[in-house]
Amino acid sequence: MTVIQPALQHARAVVPPLAARARSVGGSPLRDILAVTARPEVINFAGGLPAPELFDREGIAAAFRDVLAETPAQALQYATTEGEPILRTGLAARISARGLATDADDLLITTGSQQGLSLLATALLDPGDAVLVEDPCYLAALQAFGFAGARVVAVPGDAHGVDVRALEELVARERPKFFYTVPTFQNPTGRTLPAERRAAVAEVAARCGLWIVEDDPYGELRYEGERVPWIASYPGAEDRTALLGSFSKVMAPGVRLGWLRAPAALRRACVVAKQAADLHTPTVNQLAAARYLTGLDAHVARVRDVYRERRDAMLAGLPGALPEGSTWGRPEGGMFLWARLPQSYDTTALLPKVVQQDVAYVPGAPFYAGEPDPSTLRLCFVTQTPEEIGEGLKRLRKGLRS
């Protein structure tokens, strides 16, 4: 005889819905595009992937081996939320050497700089709070702020970055909690904010009462020109800037290591938010990275040389690949190049035809928090060899003409 469980005698009630923020924030359109372009024959200028053949497999393996051989009990154990002191000390020395005096205790180690963005959103944002962002803006930052229920407002800019006068007007109008910026080799545009504008951003933040979230995963990948100091180092910004850095573009994104430098009260709030998120960043990765820091400059120098060639290959091929009337930037570093096709082109609509030619880019539209410019696109120039870049651009030319 079958026994019917009491609960199953009734119609099954629906489960409660997802939180409103989970329903309103969609997945990254970029991830969807990457899924379509995963076929091995596609020359993929869409992903923001560091060149895998340049990962220092030997050096990184040696660092992990040494850590596990010498300090296994520490490496495999739980650790403090703030991060391993040896890594924070090494990073503080690097940051100080770049002109921003920093103590190990000023730093929180994060699980990638993406986590830094989420922690700052948790620590600073109440639902409905305004956040100012560059237009266009790094996509996953828009997601992180959207998840916190922020009202994201775009600040206009030009080929050199944010328009500081517009920033000041929007600060007065929107009373935002913070301005989020990637001032050096920005994702997606590749542009770099000049020193005078950095000083002006710091001054606006000081005068108007505003946090600055300065995200710098690409700064060490400079191929030409002089380094521009962090906004955090300009007068007025000292006590109101959260600076984010990452190992992803200089060592390997798979180790998921980043850091956050922030004034004490904000940093403490981020520490508490991180306790709730993941307790701490993997100890073994932190200790291996601390060892790897000694060889990091030499590795970054090698990567820079290769990436510079790749950027130049893309710059050389673009005039033949893009339709007449297109314009594009010349990034001094980083991984991305931003192009604007003539107005009649819609890069989102064109992408399926382009992918048929076994090449891919990211349409510019999703990067805009404000009014999108449908004729823009982002190309990543670091993942392929110069030969592959040349071939990819030929295919792009065909795809854009079809």
Sequence-ordered strand ranges (E) for 148-196: 151-155, 157-158, 161-162, 178-181
153 close to 300: Cβ distance less than 8 angstroms: no
Using CB under 6 A, which of the segments 77-85, 169-177, 245-253, 352-360 binds ligand PLP?
Answer: 245-253
Give, in order, the Cα–Cα distances in Å from 57 to each of 33, 61, 215, 288: 28, 6, 27, 13
C-beta separation of 339 from 323 below 8 A: no
Give the bridge partners for 152, in sequence order. Answer: 131
**Closest distance between ligand PLP and the C-beta of residue 72, in Å?**
27
Site string for ligand PLP, 339-378 (x = CB under 6 A): ----------------------------------------
- Could you tell me the two tokens for 133? 């962002």
* Nearer of residues 248 and 281 to ligand PLP, judged by Cβ: 248
Per rule CB under 6 A, is residue 258 in the interface with ligand PLP?
A: yes
**Binder among 182, 337, 351, 382 for ligand PLP (CB under 6 A):** 182
Nearest approach in angstroms of CB 35 to ligand PLP is 17
Nearer to ligand PLP, 282 or 390 (CB): 282
Q: Which is nearer to ligand PLP, 144 or 205 (CB)?
A: 144
307 touches ligand PLP by CB under 6 A: no
Which residue number is nearest to ligand PLP in terms of Cβ?
112
* Phi, psi (degrees; rounded to nearest 5) at 261: -115, 120
Nearer to ligand PLP by C-beta: 102 or 187? 187
* Residue placing its CB nearer to ligand PLP in the complex, 212 or 321: 212
Q: Which of 133, 225, 143, 223 is nearest to 182 (CA)?
A: 133
Under rule CB under 6 A, which residues in 208-237 are in contact with ligand PLP? 215, 217
187 vs 192, beta carbon nearer ligand PLP: 187
Tell me which residue of 301, 396, 362 sits closest to 48, measured CA to CA. Answer: 362
Closest CB 258 distance from ligand PLP, rounded Å: 4
Min dist CB 34 to ligand PLP, Å, is: 12
For residue 101, how far is the Cα from the chain centroid? 24
Residue 313 contacts residue 389 (beta carbons within 8 Å): yes
**Applying CB under 6 A, does 246 fall inside the site for ligand PLP?**
yes
The stretch among 28-36, 89-97, 109-117, 323-331 that binds ligand PLP (CB under 6 A) is 109-117
Span of 35-43, 106-114, 375-383, 389-397 interacting with ligand PLP by CB under 6 A:
106-114
Q: What is the DSSP letter of 178?
A: E
Query: Is residue 114 at the binding interface for ligand PLP, with CB under 6 A as the rule?
Result: yes
Considering the complex, what minimum distance in angstroms separates the CB of residue 54 from ligand PLP?
A: 16
> How many residues touch ligand PLP (CB under 6 A)?
13
* Structural element, H or E, at residue 379: strand 376-380
The type of residue at 281 is T
Query: Measured from the CB of residue 338, what is the shortest distance to ligand PLP in angstroms?
Result: 13
d(CA 336, CA 367): 13
Contact residue for ligand PLP among 138, 178, 259, 345 (CB under 6 A) = 138
244 DSSP β-pair partners: 215, 260
Nearer to ligand PLP by C-beta: 215 or 220?
Answer: 215
Residue 242, exposed/middle/buried by CB under 10 A (0-12, 13-18, 19+)? buried
Contact 391, 332 (CB under 8 A): no
In sequence order, what are the beta bridge partners of 379? 337
Give the dihedral sign, CA 279/281/287/291: negative
Mark out the alpha helices in 38-109 (DSSP H runs): 57-70, 72-75, 85-97
Rank residues 233 and 246 by Cβ distance to ligand PLP and give the closer one. Answer: 246
Looking at the Cβ atoms of 111 and 347, the one nearer to ligand PLP is 111
Site of tokens 């702020």: 145
> What minimum distance in Å lies between the beta carbon of 256 and ligand PLP?
7
Q: Does 136 bind ligand PLP (CB under 6 A)?
A: no
The pair of structure tokens assigned to 163 is 């328009």
Instruction: Report the interface residues with ligand PLP, using CB under 6 A.
Output: 48, 112-114, 138, 182, 187, 215, 217, 246, 248, 253, 258
